[in-house]
Amino acid sequence: MARVAFVMQLKPGNEAIYKQKHDKIWPEMLETLRDQGIRNYSIYRRELTLFAYLECDDPDVLAAGRDSLVVRRWWKMMEPYMEYNDDGTPWTETIEEVFHAD
């Protein structure tokens, strides 16, 4: 199992809508995450910085998820609220794990 952490960035003024969208996440989005082996997925917010943590069997599945139509639709909906790359994907920066204890 892999533990993956990364940060994303909200655009100013979009804190409430970001939370609202995730409070009503599409069932098909949750199903897609599960089908990709993603579990224990949490996103935290500190001001405009989003910290995401997830566990998966194969971290390469995250790159493969870019091809999912459901994921692409979700990203398109979220684009006005977050910093994005030119290719239509959310800007992310992977965080190095420096400590873990079970």
**Cα dihedral: 29, 33, 35, 38 (round 10):** -170
Residue 100 annotated among the catalytic residues of the structure = no
How far apart are the C-alpha atoms of 15 and 42, rounded to whole Å? 16
Among residues 1, 3, 17, 22, the one annotated as catalytic is 22
Query: Radius of gyration (Cα) for the chain, nearest Å?
Result: 14
Instruction: List residues with catalytic annotation.
Output: 22
